[in-house]
Structure 1
Amino acid sequence: MLVAAMAALACAPAAGAVAAEPGSLQGEVNAIKGTGSVGVVAESTGPRGHRFATAGQADSSTGAPAERYDAFRIASATKSFTATVLLQLAGEGRLSLDDSVEHWLPGVVSGNGNDGSRITIRQLLQHTSGIYDYTADLPVFASTAGFLADRFASYTPAQLVAVAMRHAPYFAPGAGWKYSNTNYILAGMIIDRVTGHTWQDEVTTRIIQPLGLRHTRVPGTDPFISGAHLHGYSNFGSGPTVDVTALNPTVGDAAAEIVSTTADLTTFYTALMRGRLLAPAQLAQMETTVPAPIWPNARYGLGLWWVPLSCGGGYFGHSGGAPGYNTLAGATPDGRRAAVVASTGDGDADSQSALDTLLDQQLCQAGR
C-alpha cells in the first residue's frame, strides 16, 4: 500500500509526468516517477485492451523523454528465460531436474562446505541450494568507486562461481530458501554443458526468435545498449549520482544479462503462461512454489515469483534490479492479463512499493 506522500502524487503529478486520473496506468507511472525515479515506462494488457504510459527522462543529460519502446536492463528477469530453457531440456529428456550439479559440472561446486553432489538443478532454479550469492562480494555492486573501476571488467561464469565458493553455504541444500544469483550462473553453465551451445544461443533460438522479440538482446560482453534505451543512474547509497548505463553484462550472465523492452517482456510472460514455450508437465513444475520471504505472502517456483493480488488469485513473473534499473513483470496464470514496468535511478524507500502497486492494480483492473 502506498504511503500518504505517494497518495498525494495522484493529485499532483511529478515533474515531467503527464496528468492522469487516479488509479490509471499513467497515474501509477507518475507515482513511481514521484519516488525519485528518473524515467519510467509501463505496459498493461488484458481483456480491456492494451495500454502504455511513460514519465520522466530516458537521458537526463539531453533531457530526452522516456519512450514506450526504450530498452533497459531487465536484470534478474533474465532468470525466467534461463529457467525456461532448462525446463525445455528436461521435457526433451536431455536432463532431469533432480540431476545433481556435480553430475553436469564436476568439481565446480566444492570447498568451504559446498558440495555439488548434494544440490539438484531444481534447487538451483528454486533458490533452495544454499549457495552464497557472488554479487555480495563484488566491488562493482558495492559503491560508486567500485562500479567505475570495474564496470568494463569481463567475467567468465567459472570466475563468478569461484567467488561464491570462497564462502560457506547459507544452509544445507533443501533446508531453506535464499535468493542467490550464483544458482543461475550454474544453471547457465549446465545449459552450455548439456547442449554444447552457450545459454545465450539457446535463449535466442528457443525463445527470442520464435516469439519475435525484436528488441530483446543477450549482449554477451557488449557493455553498451544499442538503439533507443533508458539510461540508468545510481549513487550506490551515498555519494554523487552517476550514469551507470554502460556495464559489461558478463557480471550478470545467465542470472541477469538480458536487455529488453516492456512490449517484449509482455509477449514473453504471456506466451509462457499460455503454454507456448513449455509442455504442461514442465510448466506445472515451473509453477510449483515454495515460500519466499521477500514480499509478503510471495512464493518462488522455478525462475518465477508468485505474488498474490489484492483482488484475489495472483500472478507469475519476476523482478529485476541492476545498478540504475528496476523492473517488475508478470502475468496471470491463464496469460490473459500482463503488466510490465521499468524505472531508472535509485528512487527511494517507496519506489518498490509503487512498482508493486502498479502491477497489482493493472492486473486486477484488466480483469474487470
Structure 2
Amino acid sequence: MIDINVFQKTMIASVVCLGLAACGSSSDSSAPIIPSPQPEPTADYQDMLQAAVNSGVPGIVMAIESPEINFIGAAGVADIDTQAPMQTYHQMPTGSSGKKATALLVAMLHEEGVLNMDNSISTWLPTTILSRIENSESMTLRQLLNHTAGVWDYLDNGSSEEWFEAIINDPTSVKTDIFALQFALDRPAYFAPGDAFNYSNTGYLLAGLILDKVLGTHHHTAMRERLFIGLGMNNTYYNGLEKDMGSIISGYTEFDGEIENTKFIYENIGVADAPLVSTVEDMSLLLRAIVGENSTLDTAITEHLFASNRLVQVNNETQYGLGIFYQNINGKDVYHHGGGDPGFITENYYVADSDLTLTVFFNCSGYEACQVPAANFTNSVLETIFEDR
C-alpha cells in the first residue's frame, strides 16, 4: 500500500509529464509506429508476451481475432506484491479507448431523435457551466466528440496538475464528469469551434453531462443496457459508478524513483472521457461492433463514428471520427483508439482489410522501463499483422 502522504508529494511532478496520455493515450495521432524490420512469417505471440515481461512490463494481456488468427494470452503478474499471475479475463481501466462507447451512445440517441448532436451545447447545459466555457454558444455536441470544439482540455499542462492533486487528496470518493469539469472552466479556448482539431478530454465530460440531461439519470445506466448488455460485453462496467460489478487489476507507474500502485485512485474515477473497465475480448468486441464488416448495429448509427465524409483531419496521416482514429497503413484501412491512465495502457485496433482486431492491456505506464518494452511489443505485433496479411 502506498504511503499517501509521500505519494501526494511525489505524484504531481511525475504524472503531469504524462499530459494527454492520462485518460488519452493513443490520442497521439502518430501512433501506431509501423514496420520497417522483416518479421517472422508466423509469430509466436506467447513468446512475445513473455519477452516483454522479461524486458520490464509487469503484466500483459492480448487478444487477436481474425478469420486466420484466434489468439488470447497473458504473461507476467496482475499484482507485483502478491505475484498473482496475469489472466486473460482480467479487467482494467481502458482510458480513452472507452470514448467510442460514449460516442456510440450519443449516436444511438441522435438516430432515435432523443437529441441532435448538431445542436449547440446550450440546448442542454445550464448557464452556470456555459458562461465559464469560451465559445460555448457556438459549439455543437458533434464538435465536442470529434475534438473540433476548441474547448480547453482539463488534462492539458495548465490544469492537469490541479486534477491529479485533487484525485490524490481524495482517492476514495467517486469522481464523475462534473467533478473533472471544474479543472477546465474559465480557461481559454484553443480556437473557434470548427476551425481546427485539438484533442480535448473535456469535450467528452460535457457530452456525458448532456447525456445525463436528456436521459434524466446518469448515462451509465443506458450504456449498460444498450452497449454492455446489447452487444454482449459481459465483462465490462462503467468505472467508479459500477465498481461493485468487478475489480481492476493493479497498475504501476513511477513516482520519485519508486514504482507505485495506482489502483486505489483509478477504481474511483467514472468519467465519460474514460468510462470503461473491461477485458481485452470485450474491447475487441466493441470496436468490431462499430467498424467491423459484420456489425449488427444500424449503419446510420455507426457512420457517425467513422464514415469517411464525417472524418476530420488530424494530420497528414490521420483522421478522427467520433471516438475513433482512422489511418491508411501499408494500404490497409485501420481504425484505432487506445487509452492510458497512470499505471495502465490499452491498445485497440481494427484492420478492415483483414477483419482483424487487436487489443492489448499493459498494467503500467509513465516510466521508461515500462513504456519502451510496451511500445516495442505493440510495434512488433503490428509488424506481424501488416507483413503477414
With the shorter chain as reference, the TM-score category is 0.7 to 0.9
| Counterpart in the other structure of 2:291 | 273
**Contact 1:161–1:182, Cα closer than 8 Å, also in 2:** yes
| Counterpart in the other structure of 1:67 | 87
1:323 maps to which of 336, 342, 349: 342
1:343 maps to which of 362, 365, 371: 362
| Counterpart in the other structure of 2:29 | none
Query: Are 1:332 and 2:354 counterparts?
Result: no
Q: Deviations over 1:42-77 (max 9, x none)?
A: 010111131022222111101122111111111111
Q: CA deviation at 1:31?
A: 5.2
* Structure-2 change in CA distance of 1:158 and 1:230 (3 Å): closer
- The letter for the 2-side match of 1:314 is D
| Counterpart in the other structure of 2:13 | none
- The letter for the 1-side match of 2:66 is G
2:232 maps to which of 212, 237, 243: 212
Question: Matches of 2:210 and 2:113 in 1, distance apart?
Answer: 14
* Structure-2 change in CA distance of 1:21 and 1:332 (3 Å): closer
Q: CA deviation at 1:123?
A: 0.6
**Contact 1:129–1:172, Cα closer than 8 Å, also in 2:** yes
1:97 maps to which of 113, 117, 137: 117
Q: CA deviation at 1:152?
A: 2.2
Identity %: 26
Report how many residues are paired.
Answer: 347
1:144-163 mapped onto 2 (5 Å cutoff) = 148-163=168-183
Mean CA deviation greater in 301-310 or 87-96: 301-310
Question: Matches of 1:258 and 1:182 in 2, distance apart?
Answer: 17
1:1-368 mapped onto 2 (5 Å cutoff) = 23-30=43-50, 32-33=52-53, 36-107=56-127, 109-111=129-131, 114-136=134-156, 137-139=159-161, 142=164, 148-221=168-241, 226-227=246-247, 229-236=248-255, 238-247=256-265, 251-274=269-292, 276=295, 278-287=297-306, 288-293=310-315, 297-310=317-330, 312-333=331-352, 336-346=355-365, 347-348=367-368, 349-351=371-373, 353-354=375-376, 356-358=378-380, 360-361=382-383, 363-364=385-386, 368=389
Q: CA deviation at 1:22?
A: 8.0
Question: Matches of 1:327 and 1:338 in 2, distance apart?
Answer: 13
**Contact 1:330–1:359, Cα closer than 8 Å, also in 2:** no
Structure 2 unaligned regions, length at least 5 = 1-32
Q: CA deviation at 1:34?
A: 5.3
Q: CA deviation at 1:192?
A: 1.4
Q: Deviations over 1:238-292 (max 9, x none)?
A: 4422111122556451111311000111111112224646422332221132222
Q: CA deviation at 1:319?
A: 0.7
Q: Secondary structure at the match of 1:220?
A: coil
Question: Matches of 2:329 and 2:145 in 1, distance apart?
Answer: 24
RMSD between aligned alpha carbons?
A: 3.1
Mean CA deviation greater in 160-169 or 337-346: 160-169
Mean CA deviation greater in 318-327 or 343-352: 343-352
Q: Secondary structure at the match of 1:340?
A: strand
Question: Matches of 2:67 and 2:201 in 1, distance apart?
Answer: 35
Question: Matches of 2:53 and 2:373 in 1, distance apart?
Answer: 8
TM-score for the superposition, normalised by structure 2: 0.79
**Contact 1:74–1:260, Cα closer than 8 Å, also in 2:** yes
TM-score for the superposition, normalised by structure 1: 0.83
Mean CA deviation greater in 126-135 or 218-227: 218-227
